[in-house]
Structure 1
Amino acid sequence: MKRVLLIRLDKIGDLICTMCVDQVSFLKDWDQQWVIAKGLGFVPDHADPHRKYIELAKEDSKESLQKLRAFLKEYKPDLAVSFQAPWWVSYALWAEGVPVRAGVRSQWHSFLFLNKGLRQRRSLAVKHEAEYNLDVLKHALNNTSSDPAPVLKLQAPTNPELLAKHHLSAGGYVVVHPGMAGSALNWPIANYVEFIKQVRTHTQVVLTGTAADEKWLTDIKATFKGDTNVLCLQGLLKASELFTVLKNAKAVVVPSTGVAHMAASLGATVLGIYPHVRVQKPVRWAARGPHVHIFEAPTLNPDGSHCDGTHCEEFHCMEKITVEQLLHTLSSL
């Protein structure tokens, strides 16, 4: 059986938009291994089917390079596909003599160490990130099929004890996850606050996030401090527990961040909030799953011009996605 090494050393959303491509029919006879960023093992661990993987720390290039080279000596892949990785990954593939070294041809090391590179202009955002990744895989294997990119399926642990601990009932609460890493425009905090005010009158609201999301959660937590119908679980959930909370929610309200992709892949109902800036648009970054609703900022600026992503500080297009739009969708679920 031929062996393929699939590499994506990036964030959660990027990984979910990449890991799905290994489900294509033309890889069914290949043994597959993934190389992912340290700390993201919970994604392949909860994937259906389970993926084999190793984790590497991007910030520790010396130790990670040694670990990767040792793994390559043992695994001996026939093909390696680098969807996103630093220079030392490309170097390791070359140094260990991987026969076919495929990937995105953009940075200097991709020209020097890869022998099956593909030039892409992802900044044009004419297709989804998953489709761009599938194109790289097809190029690596000289495949010309028109198969679309599959959707990654994640499974949440059955954990009734966790729900009971926080007095949650399946389908009886709405998750609001306002935090993000800042790679896209977010909905204004005032809109999140107003949305929660409207929802908490008839449905419990659960706030999720990590310490890194504090700037998005500070005002929201202060507004609803002491409100028994707004539960804050920031920093209290392990990844597997977050999966359970997302899966059992009536809906998950979230901007363009990894949690949107996680929730969608779990099959949860997602109300995703996206900007119209070209490189951030949902056409490229939308969460993909069976129950995803996308809310995109309008394209028309107040001065009558069409959004080109250059007036974000002037026009604040994200506030034009109204609370009423999300409430209407939520009421129809």
Structure 2
Amino acid sequence: MKKVLLIRLDKIGDLICTMCVDQVSFLKDCDVRWVISKGLGFVPDNADPKRKYIELSKENWKDSLHVLRKFLREYKPDVAVSFQAPWWVSYALWAENVPTRAGVKSQWHSFLFLNRGLRQRRSLATQHEADYNLDLLLHAFDIEEDLLQEKTPILKLTAPENIALLDKYKLAIKKYVVVHPGMAGSALNWPIPKYIELIEEVSKTTQVVLTGTPADESWLKDIKEHFKSNRHVLSLQNQLKPAELFTILKDAKAVVVPSTGVAHMAASLGATVLGIYSPVRVQHPRRWAARGKDVHIFMPEIPDMDNVDPQCMEQIKVEDLLKVLALQ
């Protein structure tokens, strides 16, 4: 049985767009392990099927390098594919004599330590991030894309049944809408007044649940203040463990969210997702859209993806989202 190590030391959305590729048929009889960022174990733990993995901290890289080299000596992978990782990961693969060391041929360490590098200009956003990841995996195994005859898989996540959680917050399955306006700033977002306008309309007939972390406070502060007296708007910011957030997303009528990890989580859980996306080339939904059975994309129509006025996000109309919500 061939041993395959897949590496992505990145954020939640990036990991979800990568972990899906291990479902391709030619890995069916392989022993596949993952190396992921510390704190993201809830993704493979709630994946279907569950994945085997180790977590590493990019910040504490010296200790992580030691852990990785020890793991490599014990696991002895035949193939390692680095989808995104710092230099010391490439070095560890080389130092521990992994036979096939694949990755994106870009930074200096990829030329020095990898022996199956692939040039990819992902910034052109000509296809989805998951497709780029599959291309890299195919290159690692020297498989022609045309011979695969498979579409890029979609990661399936599961959420535990948690009636007690819903009862605690007086929520009924498919009777509430999640609005997650926060993001890390990696893409253009919808203006806060637009989120407020949407929530005002939705909350007239449907419970609205706000989600987020402390890092999302700049996006949620004005929204929470505006609706502090509205009993139909419930803030669960920083109150949910990852598995609980999965349940809240899965059981929602719909999830309204910009281009951030929660969009990918909700889509992989099978939720209806209303995704708000930027037309900037490197942020475009062609590359970063959530992938699932019921995903709706909202994006300004801009002729030039390389010359975008940030104010263009105002063009996304509240009524267009309301039309989709009315059909759910």
Matched residues in 2 for 1:311 and 1:122: separation? 19
Contact 2:280 2:308 in 1 (8 A): no
Structure 2 partner of 1:2: 2
CA drift at 1:310: 2.8
Deviations 1:205-264 (A, max 9, x none): 000000000000000000001211000000000000000000000000000000000000
Question: Where does residue 313 of structure 2 map in the other structure?
Answer: 318
**Offset of 1:147 from its aligned partner?**
1.9
Structure 1 position 227 matched with structure 2 position 194: no
Q: Secondary structure at the match of 1:298?
A: coil
1:172 aligns with 2:167: no
Task: Determine the C-alpha separation between the residues in 2 that align with 1:196 and 1:104.
Answer: 42
Matches within 5 A, 1:292-311: 292-299=295-302, 306-311=303-308
Q: Is the 8 A contact 2:259 2:275 kept in 1?
A: yes
Q: Distance in 2 between matches of 1:308 and 1:181?
A: 21
- Residue type of the alignment partner of 1:35: V
Within the candidate set 198, 201, 204, 1:201 is matched to 204
Q: Which amino acid in structure 2 is aligned with residue 312 of structure 1?
A: D
**Aligned pairs (5 A) from 1:1-333:** 1-144=1-144, 145-299=148-302, 306-313=303-310, 316-333=311-328
Contact 2:102 2:114 in 1 (8 A): yes
Aligned residues: 325
- One-letter identity of the residue aligned with 1:310: N
**In the aligned structure 2, how far is the partner of 1:168 from the partner of 1:282?**
31
Separation in 1, partners of 2:86, 2:42: 22
Whether contact under 8 Å (1:91, 1:109) holds in the other structure is yes
Question: For 1:154 and 1:233, how far apart are their aligned partners in 2?
Answer: 21
Unmatched runs of 5 consecutive residues or more in structure 1: 300-305
Aligned equivalents of 1:320 and 1:122: distance in 2? Answer: 27
Match of 1:302 in 2: none
Q: Structure 2: which amino acid aligns with 1:67?
A: V
Letter in 2 for 1:130: A
User: Following the alignment from structure 1 to structure 2, what is the Cα–Cα distance between the partners of residues 12 and 65?
Assistant: 22
Unaligned runs of 5+ in 2: none
Decide whether the 8 Å contact of 1:128 with 1:284 is kept in 2: yes
SS at match of 1:227: coil
Q: Distance in 2 between matches of 1:107 and 1:139?
A: 18
The CA deviation at 1:47 is 0.1
Aligned to 1:303: none
Cα distance in 1 between the residues matched to 2:234 and 2:308: 36
- What do residues 36-62 of structure 1 show as CA deviations (whole Å, max 9, x unaligned)? 000000000000000000000001110
- 3-state SS, counterpart of residue 276 of structure 1: coil
Given that 1:101 and 1:115 are in contact with CA atoms closer than 8 Å, whether structure 2 keeps it comes out as yes
The residue type paired with residue 101 of structure 2 is R
Normalised to the residue count of structure 2, the TM-score between the two structures is: 0.98
Does the CA contact (< 8 Å) of 1:298 and 1:321 recur in 2? no
- What is the CA distance between 1:311 and its match in structure 2? 3.8
Question: Any idea what SS the aligned residue of 1:111 has?
Answer: helix
